[in-house]
């Protein structure tokens, strides 16, 4: 009898529910777009906590139906969530607030929170948590609820913070907990001690037990309650497994977990992370740092360089370049990919002079160390004037290639930055995420790097990582060696190798893009 796994992936826009078998084959994947409650100025963004849970249960029922399995055969359940996720609950673990992506609630109180923390802790929030700016983090959100009680009195009922992935499992019947990796994204956890920093209790006069007990991803934290056994038809022995944030889950799913491994997760945004043995906090505050750990596998850290918004840029490009066509967005993406492929084919056989005559460079938001880059003006294409003395042969495909180049070159800058942090070791490179559905982009990464890169055969790399946690809970993975055997046996990864002659051509374009980027930034 197959032991099925049920996985939740709560992303920046969609919540996915997946059922897979014990070999990792996905039987059903259904999604739902939660309602975002947004303030008129756009700073406050929360998911509708009044309807969220009921809709999640309906999504689960629908996924079980689509999978055509007996729900009593589901033996392991786990969850991932965005970074940093934040749920404030009452004493019954019912939610009073669920932060949506790009939430800035508390922005007006960030400086005050920073000052209070420094005065009590003797170091900055960044030095403690490895994350900046503080206006993005849960502590400022809690401060908002304390200060805005006249217009929003939820603080009267808030008794606890939990990461969103942990909250889902707690609601299903699990013990109150926080997976320690998600806790490390919150701003509340001190990375050096791996404990909730005691200064926060003094700053906010927090309720007792406000912070749940941290546990390792892959730990069994309980079984499904009778209530949800009945509602979902689940077995009383269905085990709940502590999860991971989505980015770290994607790295795990792509096998990117050893010292020096670099992974870029190409999605709505593109964080580029390198796994390290020791905690590295940037003295210049150019990078994020956090935990990279799971039961039986590893106990490490990561250092991260941000690329900024990427997936949204391709949506914009598809709509812009094919706005005159009566096509669905999916069809527009296909046209965009085809145009990019045609330019790549042209470039592969063209001379350097022909490439120069067609070249367009884009500066549309993605950039190396995006979180600290303030000078570059977004929304810019650079190309030779058609009114000049030289023949210019740029066309629509040149502009489309420039959009993809902007994403690739910004990510490449972050990869180089991280490699320079640890230049004495070998680095493996993994490129994953939804945008890697475009094989041309993957190939050009390998070409520009001049080396082989790995990618997951599944575009749902976060889910692949969560399935690894289920295998840990099932006892199938008890060491790093077991994990490597699993990856080899399931043949989850592909290798992309560089093409002859393309490194030089792409390097010329990359060098020129870097020069122009510095010029416009200054």
pLDDT (tens digit, 9 = 90+) per residue, 283-306? Answer: 999 999 999 999 999 999 999 999
Task: Give the mean model confidence (pLDDT) for residues 46-75.
Answer: 98
Is the pLDDT assigned to residue 346 strictly greater than 70? yes
Task: Please list the residues that pair with 23 across neighbouring strands.
Answer: none
Task: Please list the residues that pair with 274 across neighbouring strands.
Answer: 262, 303
> 36 in helix, strand or coil?
strand
Average the pLDDT over each of 28-37, 88-97, 325-334 and give the range with the smallest value.
325-334
Radius of gyration of the chain (CA): 23
Alpha helices per DSSP H over 73-123: 110-121
Average the pLDDT over each of 73-87, 148-162, 323-337 and give the range with the smallest value.
323-337
Alpha carbon distance 49, 170 (integer Å): 15
Residue in the structure block whose two tokens are 């976060």: 462
Task: Give the mean model confidence (pLDDT) for residues 208-224.
Answer: 97
Q: Where in the chain is the domain with CATH 3.30.420.40?
A: 4-246, 248-310+417-496
Number of H helices, E strands in the chain: 17, 24
Is the pLDDT assigned to residue 449 strictly greater than 80? yes
Average the pLDDT over each of 328-342, 414-428, 430-444 and give the range with the smallest value.
414-428
Task: Please list the residues that pair with 178 across neighbouring strands.
Answer: 214
H or E element at residue 138: helix 138-147
According to the model, what pLDDT value does residue 493 have? 86
**Token code pair at residue 421:** 């942090």
According to the model, what pLDDT value does residue 374 have? 61
Is the pLDDT assigned to residue 504 strictly greater than 90? yes
Share of the chain above pLDDT 90, in %: 86
According to the model, what pLDDT value does residue 225 have? 97
**Is domain 248-310+417-496 given the CATH code 3.30.420.40 in the classification?**
yes
User: With bands split at pLDDT 50, 70 and 90, how would you rate the model's confidence at 120?
Assistant: very high
| pLDDT tens readout for residues 68-95 | 999 999 999 999 999 999 999 999 999 9
| pLDDT tens readout for residues 377-396 | 678 999 887 766 566 778 99
Task: Give the mean model confidence (pLDDT) for residues 355-384.
Answer: 86
> 398 in helix, strand or coil?
helix
Encode burial over 112-139: b for 16+ CB neighbours within 10 A, e otherwise. Answer: ebbebbeeebeebbbbbbbbbebbbbbb
According to the model, what pLDDT value does residue 393 have? 78
Encode burial over 42-68: b for 16+ CB neighbours within 10 A, e otherwise. Answer: eebbbbebeebeebbeebbbebbeebe
Is the pLDDT assigned to residue 425 strictly greater than 90? no
Task: Give the mean model confidence (pLDDT) for residues 334-359.
Answer: 95
Share of the chain above pLDDT 70, in %: 98
**Token code pair at residue 200:** 């926060």
Average pLDDT over all residues of the chain = 94
**Token code pair at residue 310:** 């990427």
Task: Give the mean model confidence (pLDDT) for residues 482-506.
Answer: 91
| pLDDT tens readout for residues 405-419 | 999 999 999 999 999
pTM: 0.94
Alpha carbon distance 281, 283 (integer Å): 6
How many CB atoms are closer than 10 A to CB 2? 15
CB 309 within 8 A of CB 269: yes
Residue in the structure block whose two tokens are 């367009």: 360
According to the model, what pLDDT value does residue 424 have? 67
The DSSP symbol for 435 reads G
Q: Which fold has domain 4-246?
A: Nucleotidyltransferase; domain 5 (3.30.420)
Is the pLDDT assigned to residue 376 strictly greater than 80? no
According to the model, what pLDDT value does residue 375 have? 65
According to the model, what pLDDT value does residue 422 have? 83
């Amino acid at each position: 009898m197959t032991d099925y796994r049920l996985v939740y992936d709560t992303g920046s826009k969609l919540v996915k529910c997946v059922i897979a078998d014990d070999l990792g084959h996905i039987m059903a994947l259904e999604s739902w777009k939660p309602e975002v409650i947004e303030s008129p100025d756009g700073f406050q963004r929360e998911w509708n906590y009044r309807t969220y849970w009921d809709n999640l249960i309906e999504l689960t029922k629908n996924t079980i139906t689509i999978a055509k399995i007996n729900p009593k055969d589901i033996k392991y359940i786990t969850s991932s969530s965005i970074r940093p996720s934040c749920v404030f609950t009452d004493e019954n673990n019912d939610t009073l607030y669920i932060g949506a992506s790009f939430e800035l609630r508390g922005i007006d109180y960030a400086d005050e929170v920073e000052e209070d923390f420094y005065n009590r802790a003797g170091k900055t929030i960044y030095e403690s948590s490895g994350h900046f700016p503080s206006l993005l983090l849960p502590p400022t959100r809690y401060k908002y609820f304390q200060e805005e009680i006249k217009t929003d009195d939820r603080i009267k009922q808030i008794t606890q913070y939990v990461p969103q992935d942990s909250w889902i499992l707690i609601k299903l019947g699990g013990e109150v907990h926080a997976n320690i990796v998600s806790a490390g994204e919150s701003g509340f956890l001190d990375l050096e001690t791996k404990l909730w920093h005691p200064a926060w209790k003094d700053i906010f006069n927090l309720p007792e037990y406000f912070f749940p007990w941290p546990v390792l991803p892959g730990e069994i934290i309980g079984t499904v309650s009778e209530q949800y056994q009945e509602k979902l038809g689940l077995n009383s022995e269905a085990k709940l497994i502590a999860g991971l944030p989505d980015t770290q889950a994607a790295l795990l799913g792509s096998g990117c977990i050893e010292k020096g491994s670099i992974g870029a997760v190409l999605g709505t945004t593109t964080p580029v992370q390198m796994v390290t043995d020791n905690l590295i906090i940037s003295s210049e505050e150019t990078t994020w740092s956090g935990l990279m750990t799971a039961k039986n596998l590893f106990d490490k850290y990561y250092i991260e360089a941000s690329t900024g918004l990427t997936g949204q840029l391709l949506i914009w490009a598809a709509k812009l370049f094919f706005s005159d066509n009566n096509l669905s967005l999916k069809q527009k993406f296909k046209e965009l990919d085809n145009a990019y492929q045609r330019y790549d084919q042209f470039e592969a056989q063209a001379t350097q002079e022909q490439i120069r005559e067609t070249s367009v460079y884009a500066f549309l938001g993605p950039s190396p160390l995006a979180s600290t880059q303030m000078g570059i003006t977004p929304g810019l294409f650079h190309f030779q004037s058609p009114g000049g003395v030289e023949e210019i042969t740029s066309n629509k495909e040149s502009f489309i290639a420039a959009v993809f180049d902007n994403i690739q070159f910004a990510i490449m800058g972050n990869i180089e930055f991280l490699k320079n942090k640890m230049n004495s070791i070998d680095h493996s490179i993994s490129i994953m995420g939804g945008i890697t559905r475009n094989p041309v982009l993957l190939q050009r990464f390998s070409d520009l790097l001049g080396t082989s890169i790995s990618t997951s055969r599944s575009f749902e790399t976060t889910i692949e990582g969560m399935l690894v946690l289920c295998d840990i809970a099932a006892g199938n993975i008890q060491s790093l060696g077991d994990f490597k055997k699993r990856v080899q046996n399931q043949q989850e990864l592909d290798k992309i190798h560089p093409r002859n002659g393309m490194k030089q051509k792409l390097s010329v374009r990359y060098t020129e893009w870097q020069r122009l980027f510095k010029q416009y930034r200054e």
